[in-house]
Chains A and B, each alone.
Chain A
Amino acid sequence: MRAGSVTTAVERRSASRASRLYLFALPATLLFVVFIAYPIVWVAGQSFYAGTADRGTVFAGLANYTTVLSDPTFWTVVRNMFLWGIITIPVQMLIGGLLAYFIERHTHALRGFFRTMFFLPVVTSVSVISLVWVQIYAPYYGIAQEYLKHIGIVMMTSPIGDPKTAIYALIVVNIWQWTGFSMLMYIAGIANLPNEVLDAARIDGARGWRLAVHVIVPMLAPATKSLLLLGVIGTLQTFPIVHLMTGGGPNRASEVFGTFIFKQSFVLGDTGSGAALSVIVLVIALVLSLIQIAVLGARLSPAGKQDP
């Protein structure tokens, strides 16, 4: 057999193998096209149409976008989303990181118990969380008031009933619910820290706070980056807590993108502006994600290991 024909046969087998491998990707690709790509394209298309008096639709160009951007509620939403992200993401990381550190380093027999307890809110139904927190915040007859009255404090208003404090009150609930998730990510990161590095740092005299800040925190950077990325996406996806606790009120003071899109599309029946808002949120999410990947890099696994 000549060398050239052997090479051709190998190439053919290799090409045939490669095409078979593409078949394995087909189910995932189909699911992506049907459930993600097509809906995105459909919503983007809808954003260029407006409803008519006879329940039909008409091409409206960018009218939906200009209407949405000139609506003062949109800018209230942008402000709320900014506050939501800028407060929840670092606070959840900080508390979650501290919890993970103390649970992993200073608990032994009760480690599983603490992990479970702090993670419990993450897996609890949002409906239940909302009901409980509405009761906690209620003045006069609420749960917090029952305890506060023992130290002479009387709540005059509910934090979620005041336009000035509603968004912050909701942020507190969100932090309470999702800190367990940050904790879990950091626990995974801490569990993967190489002991030899920690031992070397200790030999060099690093202890306690110094060891935590100068050795452990930098080594947990991949988990931090993942949490940052997930936090930004989670912020833009916020809906159930706000919908159930305040409905975006009072007077739209706690409106977020999720509730705003829901109201425009389903309550007011204005599918065009709802779709325009959805596209704007999609673009924001995309831009923020790309910026993060560009600035922070793509090493997002908790273990912080890159493929060779």
Chain B
Amino acid sequence: MRKILFLATTILAAALSAASANAEQKEVTVWSWFVQSTMAKSIAAFEKAHPDIKVKYTYYNYSPEYITALKAAAASGSLPDVIGLQPGSLTQQYRENLEAVNERAAKQWGDKWAEKVFPVNRKQMLMGNPKGNENYYIIPQESQVLCIWYNRKIFEKLNLSAPKTYDELKAAAKALTDNGYIPMFQGAADGWQNENVFLMLANQFSPGIVDKAQAGESPWTAPELVAAMKAWKGLFDDGIFQQGALGAHAYPTGAQLFAQGKVGMMALGSWWMQESKFPPPLSEFVQNMDGFDFFYLPPVKDGNSASPPVGGIDIGYGLTKNGGKNPEAWTFLAELTNGVGLQEALNDLNDLPAFEGNSPKGDITDHVKEMSARFMADLPKAENQRFASPAVAEALDNALAGVAAGSIEPEAALAAVQAANEKALAAK
């Protein structure tokens, strides 16, 4: 009987002790569309540095799962502590559910913390705020620079080099097509990839013109933007993009074909380097990024320069009102965006840092280091990639698809974007 009593007491004590340990461990809840495997590494590094905090991460596909989950949770007041965000429209949709993080960030990183964030990111952090509202509702974790990637092994085989003029680009596309390769894969069924290429073109005709048009300082029907829209159509008509691009998706179709060495070029961004860190088997092209290098879109018209770097925040995180009541939530957010969590993401080559002074470490080849350094050198001078109003982005997506399909003229298409822009500015 005594033995039984002793055993029961021991079990009870152990259970109470475990419960007490669990009670001491604080929990932070996080939702995002960020790659699960990389986030798991970031969380492991964070929990190692903060053993008293447990992070519960929920992954969603971005659309429709993530944006519908956010909407439902915001309506019912059950958002997690930290949410993944894109700057501009997505952040603005949830502004009322987010804490302004200015004070917390100043306490964490010093009063001049914002100056350590790359200028294009800083601009995007405030994008869409009402006039005079200088609050930050998003802390960027990673940045990106858009570019044209090319398969340098295929180019070498066909005696091609990275094009510097539009004629060279057309010649490269023709040589690739003639040899059975897809010239430049465009997932034109995806609005985001079309926007990216259009931004490369527009900034080539007049750097910063899309930002001016968004702000109402220049019309969307400006000659430079009409010329950019015509050049966009030219990419389809001149055989730069593959046949049937309007029905194609960049992911997974285009990315898979590109990784397998069936595509010559693709308009992506600095995030493409992460392919080399995916679980094996990897193709000979993706392995250590051996098969790839990048260039900026060559001038599509005499007198233009090559497209300038375009980019900004890849992903950022916001502290919700619920998270504001949980002190550990900010601790995690800070480490994820500019601490041990970020370092793990950089080591996975997920993308470029948003804060200065960070770089990938670990098992990375000289070729990847060299490309990463080139991106990092271009990031401070990058033009803005994001849209403040989702309605304007949507109107531009429709305009680009319509022009590419030949169902609408560039001028009329841009007039529709101008109308959407005016409506968005009036509602602000």
Contact = CB atoms under 8 A, between A and B. Distances in A.
Genuine A/B complex: yes
A163 B247 CA distance: 10
Q: Which of A54, A140, A161, A253 has the most CB of B within 10 A?
A: A161
A192 interface: no
A250 B407 CA distance: 10
Contacts of A262: 64
A162 B64 contact: no
A266 B244 contact: no
A131 interface: yes
B18 interface: no
B253 interface: yes
A interface, over-half SS: loop
B68 interface: yes
Interface string A223-247: 0000000000000000000010111
B interface, over-half SS: helix
A141 B177 CA distance: 11
A86 B249 CA distance: 29
B253 A162 contact: no
Given A250-B404, A250-B405, A141 B262 contact: yes
A156 B244 CA distance: 7
Interface in B238-294: 242-249, 252-253, 257, 262
Contact of B242 (A137, A140, A163, A251): A140
A249 B401 contact: yes
A251 to B, nearest CB: 4
A55 interface: yes
Q: Which of B96, B248, B390 has the most CB of A within 10 A?
A: B248
B396 to A, nearest CB: 11
A249 B189 contact: yes
Given A55-B95, A134-B249, A250-B402, A157 B189 contact: no
Interface string A149-160: 000000111111
A157 B394 contact: no
Contacts of A160: 189, 246-247
Contacts of B397: 249
Contacts of B63: 267
Interface string B177-194: 000001000001111000
A269 B130 contact: no
A161 B405 contact: yes
A145 to B, nearest CB: 9
A242 to B, nearest CB: 11
A251 B191 CA distance: 10
B227 interface: no
Interface string B377-420: 00000000000001100100111011011011000000000000
B406 to A, nearest CB: 9
A228 B230 CA distance: 47
Q: How large is the interface on A (under 10, 10 to 19, 20 to 34, 35 or more residues)?
A: 35 or more
Interface in A149-196: 155-163, 166
A58 interface: no
Given A55-B96, A251-B405, A267-B390, A159 B247 contact: yes
Contacts of A247: 189-191
A67 to B, nearest CB: 11
Q: Which of B71, B244, B391, B402 has the most CB of A within 10 A?
A: B244
Given A161-B247, A250-B189, A266 B398 contact: no
B253 A134 contact: yes
Contacts of A249: 189, 191, 246, 397-398, 401
Interface string A114-147: 0000000000000000010011011111100000
Given A134-B253, A266-B64, A268-B391, A141 B408 contact: no
A134 B247 CA distance: 7
Contacts of A263: 394
A266 B71 contact: yes
A292 interface: no
Contacts of A289: none
B133 to A, nearest CB: 10
A132 to B, nearest CB: 11
B328 to A, nearest CB: 27
Given A131-B252, A138-B244, A251 B394 contact: no
Given A134-B253, A158-B244, A141 B401 contact: no
B313 to A, nearest CB: 19
Interface string B51-72: 0000000000001100110010
A134 B96 contact: no
Interface of B: 63-64, 67-68, 71, 89, 93, 95-96, 130, 182, 188-191, 242-249, 252-253, 257, 262, 390-391, 394, 397-399, 401-402, 404-405, 407-408, 427-428
Interface of A: 53-55, 131, 134-135, 137-142, 155-163, 166, 243, 245-247, 249-253, 262-263, 265-269
19 contacts: A54-B130, A137-B244, A140-B242, A141-B242, A155-B244, A157-B244, A160-B189, A161-B246, A163-B402, A163-B405, A163-B407, A247-B191, A250-B407, A251-B402, A251-B407, A265-B71, A267-B63, A268-B390, A268-B394
